[in-house]
């Protein structure tokens, strides 16, 4: 939770932008335009909401875009654990392997099984993330190791 991105959002967006902008706007509305405190506060909140709707929309659409990118399949209903998901991955892999052996040159024969396997692997990742496992840290460690080995273009 307390990542670099979180601190930037909390201090940059909330404290600096909303807090300071809100205080300045409140003073301007009250002192310069003579609007009573209560109405100045409501107008202040309305104006800031109009501005920060777009700021937050940008921030969160970027973040949600990463989540959409990460997971291609909808979440499956139910309670899951790593053992159940491991068994599902094994089952899907075996089915794909059987279909692949039938005709490895024709993806139409095994593509459905391949995507089922991808789905089960994705579900394992969701289970791990739901349990608080830092999947991204491990992912980045693997990418860095492979980069050092010269595996990427």
Q: Who wins on pLDDT, 102 or 45?
A: 102
Residue with tokens 């979180």: 6
Backbone angles phi, psi at 132, to 5 degrees: 85, 15
Helix (H) or strand (E) holding 91: helix 82-102
Distance CA 55, CA 13 (A): 9
Residue pair 113/95 in contact (Cβ under 8 Å)? The answer is: yes
Nearest-CA neighbor of 86 among 128, 132, 120, 130?
120
Count of C-beta atoms within a 10 Å radius of residue 33: 10
Q: What is the pTM of this model?
A: 0.55
Q: Tell me: the pLDDT tens digits for 129-148?
A: 889 898 889 999 999 999 99
Is residue 6 predicted with pLDDT exceeding 90? no
Distance CA 28, CA 128 (A): 50
Distance CA 6, CA 29 (A): 31
Structure confidence at residue 68 as a pLDDT band (50, 70, 90): low
Structure confidence at residue 69 as a pLDDT band (50, 70, 90): low
Distance CA 82, CA 90 (A): 12
Residue-level length of the chain: 153
Domain boundaries of the chain, sorted by first residue:
4-70, 82-148
Is residue 12 predicted with pLDDT exceeding 70? yes
């Amino acid at each position: 939770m307390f990542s670099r991105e979180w601190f930037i959002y909390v201090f940059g967006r909330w404290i600096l932008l909303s807090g300071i902008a809100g205080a300045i706007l409140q003073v301007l509305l009250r002192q310069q335009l003579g609007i009573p405190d209560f109405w100045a506060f409501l107008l202040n909140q309305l104006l800031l909401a109009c501005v920060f709707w777009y700021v937050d929309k940008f921030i969160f659409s970027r973040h949600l875009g990463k989540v959409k990118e990460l997971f291609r399949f909808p979440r499956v209903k139910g309670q899951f654990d790593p053992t159940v998901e491991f068994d599902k991955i094994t089952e899907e892999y075996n089915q794909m392997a059987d279909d692949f052996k039938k005709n490895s040159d024709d993806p139409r024969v095994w593509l459905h099984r391949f995507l089922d396997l991808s789905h089960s692997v994705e579900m394992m990742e969701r289970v791990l993330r739901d349990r608080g496992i830092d999947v991204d840290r491990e992912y980045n460690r693997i990418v860095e190791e492979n980069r050092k080995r010269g595996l990427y273009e």
